[in-house]
């Protein structure tokens, strides 16, 4: 499907130079004083992982790839692969764990994930927006700090380090955004 270069967004998969590229950052739109407007796009090759910074004229049309999405349940790790089960047919498949990148730490047993495929080839995986994790390490509260402006580091049960408000203590369960590993709130248990 052809889209205008102005419509490119972070997370889009584009076909460019006969390869599939994932847009890594929100594109920069630039209108120079002289010449036509252009869009600077940072992309990563889905197969090789090579990065590319490309400029497109704002009037240029780009081929956006349509991805198939299907719900799976994560079962377990098998070497460098994740075992997933189709929620409808109960068929199991293995997917390389590198497809998740940094978000692999947020994968939990029996979690429902969305696998994105292009021509039956897995190219991406979406986790739920938030997960609930227990705080395993947190610095003690320093008297006199105000809750409005200060955050303290904490380490979650999965080993990820995040910043939390001063009232969060070891053993608390917190809601964490999987997209950027940021604290949202204390879990209501």
**3-class state of residue 101 by DSSP:** helix
Q: pLDDT exceeding 90 applies to what percent of the chain?
A: 31
Could you tell me the residue ranges of all domains in the chain? 2-64, 68-126, 130-186
pLDDT of residue 30: 86
* CA-CA-CA-CA torsion sign (14, 107, 159, 81): negative
Work out the mean pLDDT of the chain and round it to a whole number.
Answer: 87
Half-sphere exposure of 125 (CA within 13 A, CB side): 24
- 2-64 against 130-186: fold identical: no
Structurally, at CATH architecture level, domain 2-64 sits in Roll (2.30)
Poorest-confidence range of 62-71, 93-102, 145-154?
A: 145-154
Return the residue matching tokens 């809750």.
147
Which has more confidence, 142 or 59? 59
For residue 94, the tally of other CB atoms under 10 A from its CB is 13
Distance separating alpha carbons of residues 104 and 158, to the nearest angstrom: 10
What would the pLDDT profile of 98-113 be if each residue is shown by its tens digit?
888 788 889 988 999 9
**3-class state of residue 58 by DSSP:** coil
**pLDDT surpasses 80 at 141:** no
Report whether 46 contacts 22 (CB < 8 A). Answer: yes
CATH 3.20.20.70, domain 130-186, yes or no:
no
**pLDDT surpasses 90 at 142:** no
Give me the residues paired with residue 62 across strands.
3
Residues 6+ positions from 33 with CB-CB distance below 8 Å: none
State which CATH number among 3.40.50.720, 1.20.1290.10, 2.40.50.140, 3.30.470.10 fits the domain covering 68-126: 2.40.50.140
């Amino acid at each position: 499907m052809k889209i205008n270069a102005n419509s490119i967004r972070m997370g889009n998969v584009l076909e460019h130079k006969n390869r599939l590229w994932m847009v890594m950052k929100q594109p920069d739109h630039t209108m120079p004083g002289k010449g036509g407007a252009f869009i600077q796009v940072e992309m990563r090759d889905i197969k090789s992982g090579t990065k590319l910074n490309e400029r497109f004229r704002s009037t240029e049309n780009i081929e956006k790839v349509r991805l198939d999405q299907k719900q799976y349940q994560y079962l377990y790790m098998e070497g460098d692969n994740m075992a997933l089960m189709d929620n409808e047919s109960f068929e199991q498949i293995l997917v390389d764990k590198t497809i998740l990148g940094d978000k692999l730490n947020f994968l939990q047993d029996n979690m429902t994930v969305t696998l994105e495929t292009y021509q039956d080839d897995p190219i991406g995986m979406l986790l739920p927006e938030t997960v609930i994790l227990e705080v395993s390490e947190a610095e003690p509260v320093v008297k006199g700090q105000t809750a409005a402006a200060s955050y303290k580091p904490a380490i979650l049960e999965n080993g990820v380090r995040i910043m939390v408000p001063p009232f969060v203590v070891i053993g608390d369960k917190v809601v964490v955004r999987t997209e950027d590993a940021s604290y949202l709130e204390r879990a209501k248990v």
